[in-house]
């Protein structure tokens, strides 16, 4: 009956998408009817009996005999080049979903006030401001960084086509280049390019662990596909992370007092990505001999939930209200304010990524490794915030956002920062590192060192669409468009971080006491706040900040259109402004605003939501919509 009900609910979902519980009850009734038919009708029973082995046979074929077996069973490289003779410590960090523009101030320089760690490293390294990725897909971009091989749809003699991000498909890479002479402290997230005889990566597990994780993820994806949308809101998201959607096991510790009492829930929410960084950091500078410290960090990738201070502001497995961040690859941004707020949340999490980088640099100095090390910091791809466009899919209108990535390379002993305008591509990171180490790569790669004359002569930028077809821009045009993106960011947020909380209509209200403005009662709409208890009992030591003020507006609709201008007061002073947004069906109205941590006091905070209107003379007025 349950199996029949699942089939029925999937068939009926398209006919009644908002049916919710009623649709499930109907599916269960029809499923029971199907079970009754199986029990009483011989023809139905015979037909299903013949088909009964099919699911098991299909599962075995899929897991063990299809190309998916390389994931469930793992795989080792069959051939490797001999390791090189380098001796210097090597440190590489690959950030995820980090465009170069997000690091820059209004002058096009790395913003030292907002991002002191990136700026400090740039002061000792070579910065390639024209570095670009070839793909917005992490499973292609990270292997390109690690192997020096260029991803291409359709393949060519020098490219990798249809390869999985595993050691068996990329046998020659950074890890095998350095080989057993190096101690490997490696933390991969999406890839498993480091062979198991070189790396002890707990996330790989054995075949049983991989099959268990795959089964769990497939189950959650299936529930998202078959259940009506109202019932999927409480399920863990399957679009915020790459896997282990229900939470990763074995990574609940490692941050001590920085984590609150909800450590296990938070670990499930974020897939323990912060804990894995801590675990990686603990292994940096340990042991004798040359070392490789590699970390693919899933920051500042969604879910956006961290402030630059390191505190989290998100409490659930999904966004607190619908519509804040459309799933990448399926839906474009549809609201100007939500575009700006998503951009704001991204930049706040970039601040947290800078905090993580700062901890790594401090660890390297503390262990006496920093000066002697070759250090590479890069990102796999960027991200775009433009209305009408997906945040990740590269098209002509956003290629400068997706393609441009930070690339900082510090040679052993280097102490003077410099900038190199070569159009380096991310599959040339490994040849550049080999050049810095003074070694020759023992296998064929597709690119050249960023310091080579060939890279300096390049005059164009290329990034692959999802279809595999390239978008090509002349270098000067790319730089012009990137400069326009920098100017847009500066206009929205300023430089130095001072404007990160001034997003939304009427920003001149921020900082003003409520008593300075005329205040009236709301016109029938009332606010229902999410997580009111956290605003009433804020503990800065908990590692959580109730900075995200969100909820639903019920009652009368806005008089001037589909949205209304809002202001959030904290302890009697306007701390944020926002604009309401509606659900996709237009029925529900929501609000979302981020207030700075400096506006919150320990203990109870008085938070009130106002609608902002204008009198005939243009004077701004407030109408109370409710208190948290």
CATH number of the structural domain spanning residue 164: 3.40.720.10
Do 417 and 542 sit in the same domain of this protein?
A: no
Q: Indicate the pTM of the whole model.
A: 0.83
Question: Does residue 518 lie in a domain region?
Answer: yes
Mean pLDDT of the residues in the chain: 84
For residue 63, pLDDT beyond 90: no
Least confident range of 165-174, 253-262, 322-331: 253-262
Nearest to 94 by CA among 247, 280, 307, 220: 280
Domain that holds residue 330: 91-199+261-493
Edge-to-edge strands, sheet with 407-410 = 183-187, 291-300, 90-96, 374-379, 407-410, 126-127, 418-419
For residue 217, pLDDT beyond 70: no
Q: State the DSSP string of 412-448.
A: TT--S-EE-----BGGGHHHHHHHHHT---SS--SS-
Least confident range of 132-141, 305-314, 464-473: 464-473
Neighbours of 619 (CB within 10 A): 10
Residue 561: the pLDDT is 72
Least confident range of 63-72, 523-532, 565-574: 63-72
| Cα separation, 578 vs 592, whole angstroms | 7
Question: Does residue 28 lie in a domain region?
Answer: yes
Q: How many CA atoms lie within 13 A of 468 on its CB side?
A: 11
Q: Please tell me what DSSP assigns to residue 61.
A: I
Q: Under a CB-based contact definition with an 8 Å cutoff, are residues 63 and 156 in contact?
A: no
Helix axes 336-366, 273-282, angle to 10 degrees: 20
Q: pLDDT grade, residue 216 (50/70/90)?
A: low
Reported as a single tens digit per residue, the pLDDT across 566-595 is 999 999 999 999 999 998 888 899 999 999
For residue 266, give the H/E element and its range.
helix 263-270
- CA 82 to the chain's CA centroid: 35
Question: Does residue 242 lie in a domain region?
Answer: no
Question: Does residue 467 lie in a domain region?
Answer: yes
Decide which of 266 and 291 is more confident.
Answer: 291
Longest dimension (CA), the chain: 83
Decide which of 69 and 143 is more confident.
Answer: 143
For residue 17, pLDDT beyond 90: no
Residue 540: the pLDDT is 92
Reported as a single tens digit per residue, the pLDDT across 448-469 is 999 999 999 999 999 999 888 9
What phi and psi, each to the nearest 5 degrees, are found at residue 474? -65, 145
For residue 207, pLDDT beyond 90: no
Residue 416: the pLDDT is 96
Count the domains in the chain: 3
Do 377 and 468 sit in the same domain of this protein?
A: yes
Neighbours of 559 (CB within 10 A): 9
Q: Under a CB-based contact definition with an 8 Å cutoff, are residues 199 and 106 in contact?
A: no
Mean pLDDT, rounded, for 288-315: 94
| Cα separation, 217 vs 366, whole angstroms | 40
| Cα separation, 150 vs 289, whole angstroms | 32
Residue 91: the pLDDT is 98
Rg of the Cα atoms in the chain: 26
Least confident range of 171-175, 223-227, 367-371: 223-227
Reported as a single tens digit per residue, the pLDDT across 111-122 is 999 999 999 999
- Structure token pair of residue 365: 């100095």
- Could you say which of 436, 469, 493 is where a domain stops? 493
Do 180 and 292 sit in the same domain of this protein?
A: yes
Helices (H), 52-173: 54-60, 69-72, 116-122, 138-147
Do 306 and 193 sit in the same domain of this protein?
A: yes
Percent of the chain with pLDDT over 90: 61
Do 366 and 432 sit in the same domain of this protein?
A: yes
Do 482 and 558 sit in the same domain of this protein?
A: no
What phi and psi, each to the nearest 5 degrees, are found at residue 461? -120, 140
Q: Under a CB-based contact definition with an 8 Å cutoff, are residues 599 and 570 in contact?
A: yes
Residue 603: the pLDDT is 95
- Could you say which of 443, 458, 493 is where a domain stops? 493
Question: What CATH number should be reported for the domain holding residue 549?
Answer: 2.60.40
Question: Does residue 132 lie in a domain region?
Answer: yes
Do 512 and 390 sit in the same domain of this protein?
A: no
Residue 250: the pLDDT is 35
Nearest to 341 by CA among 505, 486, 483: 505
Do 470 and 376 sit in the same domain of this protein?
A: yes
Mean pLDDT, rounded, for 534-561: 90
- Could you say which of 439, 463, 493 is where a domain stops? 493
Question: Does residue 236 lie in a domain region?
Answer: no
The sign of the torsion formed by the CA atoms of 445, 300, 384, 318 equals positive
Dihedral in degrees, nearest 10, Cα atoms 437, 440, 444, 448: 60
List CB contacts of 68: < 8 A, sequence separation 6 or more.
Answer: 62
Decide which of 46 and 110 is more confident.
Answer: 110
Residue 369: the pLDDT is 96
Mean pLDDT, rounded, for 371-386: 97
Do 521 and 587 sit in the same domain of this protein?
A: yes
Percent of the chain with pLDDT over 70: 77
- Structure token pair of residue 370: 């920093």
Helix axes 475-493, 336-366, angle to 10 degrees: 100
Do 359 and 432 sit in the same domain of this protein?
A: yes
For residue 519, pLDDT beyond 90: yes
Q: How many CA atoms lie within 13 A of 531 on its CB side?
A: 19
Q: pLDDT grade, residue 192 (50/70/90)?
A: very high
Do 350 and 438 sit in the same domain of this protein?
A: yes
Q: Which residue has the tokens 């690859």?
A: 329
| Cα separation, 156 vs 597, whole angstroms | 52
Mean pLDDT, rounded, for 128-146: 96
For residue 83, pLDDT beyond 90: no
Least confident range of 171-180, 192-201, 389-398: 192-201
| Cα separation, 378 vs 183, whole angstroms | 22
Q: Under a CB-based contact definition with an 8 Å cutoff, are residues 190 and 94 in contact?
A: no
Do 456 and 548 sit in the same domain of this protein?
A: no
For residue 107, pLDDT beyond 80: yes
Q: Which residue has the tokens 């070569």?
A: 422
For residue 233, pLDDT beyond 70: no
What phi and psi, each to the nearest 5 degrees, are found at residue 548? -90, 105
Decide which of 556 and 356 is more confident.
Answer: 356
Q: Under a CB-based contact definition with an 8 Å cutoff, are residues 91 and 364 in contact?
A: yes
- Structure token pair of residue 235: 């399920």
Nearest to 274 by CA among 239, 304, 298: 298
For residue 377, give the H/E element and its range.
strand 374-379
Q: Cα angle at 370 between 368 and 371, to 5 degrees?
A: 95
Question: Does residue 312 lie in a domain region?
Answer: yes
Q: Under a CB-based contact definition with an 8 Å cutoff, are residues 410 and 373 in contact?
A: yes
Question: Does residue 249 lie in a domain region?
Answer: no
Decide which of 339 and 1 is more confident.
Answer: 339
For residue 64, pLDDT beyond 70: no
| Cα separation, 612 vs 616, whole angstroms | 13
């Amino acid at each position: 009956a349950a199996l029949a009900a699942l089939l029925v609910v999937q068939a009926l979902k398209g006919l009644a998408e908002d049916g919710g519980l009623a649709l499930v009850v109907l599916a269960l009734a029809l499923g029971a009817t199907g079970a009754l038919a199986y029990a009483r009708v011989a023809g139905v029973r015979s037909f299903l009996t013949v088909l009964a082995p099919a699911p098991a046979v299909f599962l075995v074929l899929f897991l063990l005999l299809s190309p998916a077996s390389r994931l469930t069973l793992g795989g080792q490289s069959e051939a490797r080049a001999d390791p090189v003779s380098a001796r210097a410590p090597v440190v590489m960090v690959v950030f995820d979903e980090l465009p170069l523009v997000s690091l820059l101030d209004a002058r096009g320089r790395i913003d030292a006030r907002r991002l002191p760690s990136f700026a400090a490293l740039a002061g000792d390294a070579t910065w390639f401001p024209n570095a670009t990725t070839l793909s917005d897909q992490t499973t292609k971009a990270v292997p390109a960084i690690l192997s020096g091989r260029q991803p291409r749809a359709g393949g060519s003699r020098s490219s990798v086509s249809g390869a999985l991000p595993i050691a068996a498909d990329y046998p020659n890479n950074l890890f095998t280049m350095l080989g057993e002479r190096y101690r490997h402290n490696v933390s991969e997230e999406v890839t498993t390019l480091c062979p198991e005889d070189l790396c002890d990566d707990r996330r790989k597990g054995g075949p049983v662990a991989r099959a268990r994780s795959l089964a769990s993820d497939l189950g959650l994806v299936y529930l998202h596909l078959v259940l009506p949308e109202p019932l999927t809101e409480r399920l863990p998201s399957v679009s915020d992370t790459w896997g282990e959607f229900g939470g990763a096991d074995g990574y609940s510790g490692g941050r001590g007092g920085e984590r609150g009492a909800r450590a296990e829930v938070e670990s499930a929410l974020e897939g323990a990505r912060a804990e894995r960084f801590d675990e990686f950091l603990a292994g940096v500078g340990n042991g004798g001999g040359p070392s490789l410290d590699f970390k693919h960090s899933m920051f500042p990738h969604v879910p956006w939930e961290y402030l630059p201070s390191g505190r989290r502001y998100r409490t659930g497995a999904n966004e607190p209200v619908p519509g804040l961040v459309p799933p990448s690859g399926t839906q474009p941004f549809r609201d100007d304010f939500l575009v700006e707020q998503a951009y704001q949340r991204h930049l706040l999490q970039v601040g947290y990524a800078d905090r993580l980088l700062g901890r790594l640099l401090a660890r390297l100095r503390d262990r006496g490794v920093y000066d002697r090390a070759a250090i590479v910091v890069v990102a796999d791809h960027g991200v775009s915030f433009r209305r009408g466009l997906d945040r990740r899919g590269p098209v002509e209108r956003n290629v400068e956002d997706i393609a441009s990535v930070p690339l900082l390379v510090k040679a052993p002993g280097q102490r003077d920062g410099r900038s190199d305008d070569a159009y380096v591509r991310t599959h040339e990171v490994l040849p550049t590192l080999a050049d810095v180490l003074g070694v020759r790569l023992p296998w064929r790669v597709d690119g050249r060192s960023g310091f080579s004359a060939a890279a300096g002569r390049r005059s164009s930028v290329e990034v692959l669409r999802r279809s595999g077809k390239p978008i090509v821009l002349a270098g000067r045009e790319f730089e012009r468009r990137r400069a326009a993106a920098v100017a847009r960011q500066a206009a929205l947020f300023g430089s130095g971080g001072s404007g990160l909380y001034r997003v939304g209509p009427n920003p001149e209200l921020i900082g003003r006491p409520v008593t300075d403005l005329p205040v009236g009662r709301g016109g029938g709409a009332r606010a229902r706040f999410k997580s009111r208890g956290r605003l009433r009992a804020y503990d800065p030591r908990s590692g959580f900040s109730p900075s995200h003020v969100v909820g639903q507006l019920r009652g009368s609709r806005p008089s001037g259109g589909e949205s209304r201008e809002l202001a959030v007061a904290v302890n009697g002073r306007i701390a944020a402004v926002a604009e309401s947004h509606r659900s996709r069906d237009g029925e529900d109205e929501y609000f979302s605003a981020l207030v700075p941590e400096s506006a919150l006091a320990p203990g109870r905070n008085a938070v009130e939501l106002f609608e902002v209107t204008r009198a005939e003379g243009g004077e701004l007025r407030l109408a109370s919509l409710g208190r948290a």
